Amino acid sequence: MKFSLNVDHVATLRNARGETQPDPVTFALMAEQFGVDGIVVHLREDRRHINDRDVRLLRELITTKLDLEMAAEDEIIKIACELQPELATLVPEKRQELTTEGGLNVLDNLERLKDTIQELHSYNIPVSLFIEPDINQIDASADINADIIEIHTGNYANAPTVEEMIEEMERIRTAAKHAKRIGLGVNAGHGLNYNNMKEFTLIDEIDEVSIGQAVIARSIFVGIEKAIKEMSQLINTKIS
Ligand code: PXP
């Protein structure tokens, strides 16, 4: 399983004072040195964390791969086509939300998403759709030519009881197996942390996890190298 690091919240901290530090680009370059497999950033329409300068510099400087999270909006699609990230992950975006709150409703937005995927494909950009672990959403994603799905793991991470956590994990496992069976790549993310990550190592169908908040937060206490290496070790150690 690969580990992609989302550095949005380094930019959140920088922007809190409107100054230049901490720099998410520097953080990403250091993270690469400590072994992450890719860098993820969400270029939001309101630019509340990552901005155009960040994404352009990352495109130029990182040596792993760039996963650009984005809404299916014309302005951002244009930037993606110019920058040609190794992956574009389409997510729903609401201005009021603190973070992405759930998966895309692919079934209700088939035409818009299909056109966006087609446009990104015309620039040789593979496309992932961030969706709930739901068979109908997965089938719809395949129908409109998505390459990968990213399964939203927020309901698992925030489950109020152990029973609900186990149930949600079962949904994720079933969804991952189904997606793989029909030829989609499978990523997962949102709310994964040092305590809830281990179970995921049992799902062989998940190719990659995308983790931000937990690693950025831990790096404040233990440093970037230790925070990244601890998470890499969790991801690469299969529990039995
Ligand atoms: N995947 C997607 C699609 C996201 O929107 C986010 C949050 O930006 C993440 C993964 C990472 O979530 P977290 O910061 O909770 O690890």
Q: Which atom of ligand 1 is nearest to the CA of 42?
A: 8
Express each pLDDT in 160-181 by its tens digit: 999 999 999 999 999 999 999 9
Mention the CATH class of domain 2-235.
alpha beta
Express each pLDDT in 20-78 by its tens digit: 999 999 999 999 999 999 999 999 999 999 999 999 999 999 999 999 999 999 999 99
Query: If you average pLDDT over every residue of the chain, what do you get?
Result: 96
Measured in Å, residue 60 CA sits from the centre of ligand 1 at 23
CB distance 69 to ligand 1 below 6 Å: yes
Express each pLDDT in 187-211 by its tens digit: 999 999 999 998 888 999 999 999 9
Sequential DSSP letters for the chain: -EEEEE-HHHHHHHHTTTSS-S-HHHHHHHHHHTT-SEEEEE--TT-SSS-HHHHHHHHHH-SS-EEEEE-S-HHHHHHHHHH--SEEEE----TT-SS--S---TGGGHHHHHHHHHHHHHTT--EEEEE-S-HHHHHHHHHTT-SEEEEE-HHHHT-SSHHHHHHHHHHHHHHHHHHHHTT-EEEEESS--TTTSGGGGG-TT--EEEE-HHHHHHHHHH-HHHHHHHHHHHHH----
Domain parsing of the chain, residue ranges? 2-235
